[in-house]
Amino acid sequence: MRIAVVSDIHGNLTALEAVIADLRHTGADVVLQGGDLAHGGAGPAEVVDRVRELGWAGVRGNTDEMLWAPETLQDFAAGAPPGLKKLFEMTEEMRMWTCERLGEARVEWLKTMPMVQRCGELAVVHASPDDTWRGPGPESSEAGLQKAFGVLEARVVVYGHIHMPFVRELSGWTVANSGSVSLSYDGDARASYAVVEGERVEIRRVEYDIEAEVEAMRREGLPHGEWVAACLRTGKFVGV
């Protein structure tokens, strides 16, 4: 069975449609979504509706959770370095805009997403099994990955959140990050997702029309859209 994990779409319908087109070539039997569907792009409602239409099961991400529980953003911001204060203020403005675009029914649907999604020997989480905000980085040791994901007792674990795809074959199991459909942070601006077949994980990169998404953000009035555009174009997190 071939299972695709598509994570961190962040309201970017342009990139999502490019990934959907690529999925036709990969021949995935099942597609799971890894959270962070709506916040951060021009089409939060459109992305949620598209994922629901496709019937992709999935998990909740931190930017999903903060839509109905803004205190989770506040709590995380309180423990972050002072230099990130501006970023979290921007995130809150974008969060309120996203909630208005989504409407209550879509937010209620996002609330139904579990923390863990399983398919055979595969377990999918957003950041970690019990925390949508904190997950290991690509530099983590095997011991660190075991601490984060060992409780899942899965042969393959795929997560999102950090926007930096990687595959690590460990002692008897594999951990991979699917990367992000939108807002890549590894210097490659293309969309990213993972395909799992048995214990083998492949990272797929998909080109899409970034300028079309930038124009959509301008047209829809996404707060701080120029900053988001800079991140999209560079494939990196741009400081504020």
- Span 151-169, pLDDT tens digits: 999 999 999 999 999 999 9
- Is 90 exceeded by the pLDDT of residue 83? no
| Residue 126 domain-assigned (yes or no) | yes
* Angle at alpha carbon of residue 186, lines to 127 and 54, rounded to 5°: 55
Q: What is the edge-to-edge ordering of all strands in the sheet holding 200-206?
A: 57-58, 30-33, 2-6, 191-197, 200-206
Check: CB of residue 73 under 8 Å from CB of residue 91. yes
Domain harbouring 41, CATH code: 3.60.21.10
| Residue 52 domain-assigned (yes or no) | yes
- The C-alpha atoms of residue 81 and residue 70 are separated, in whole angstroms, by 19
| Residue 239 domain-assigned (yes or no) | no
Query: What mean pLDDT comes out for the span 167-182?
Result: 97
- Span 33-60, pLDDT tens digits: 999 999 999 999 999 999 999 999 999 9
Query: What mean pLDDT comes out for the span 121-128?
Result: 98
| Residue 134 domain-assigned (yes or no) | yes
- The C-alpha atoms of residue 124 and residue 146 are separated, in whole angstroms, by 15
Show the domain range for 35: 2-234
Q: Tell me the pairing of strands 174-177 and 156-159.
A: parallel
Measure Cα distances from 184 to 53, 63, 81, 124, 158 in Å: 25, 16, 22, 19, 17
Q: How many domains does the chain have?
A: 1
pTM attached to this predicted model: 0.97
| Residue 240 domain-assigned (yes or no) | no
What pLDDT does residue 6 have? 99
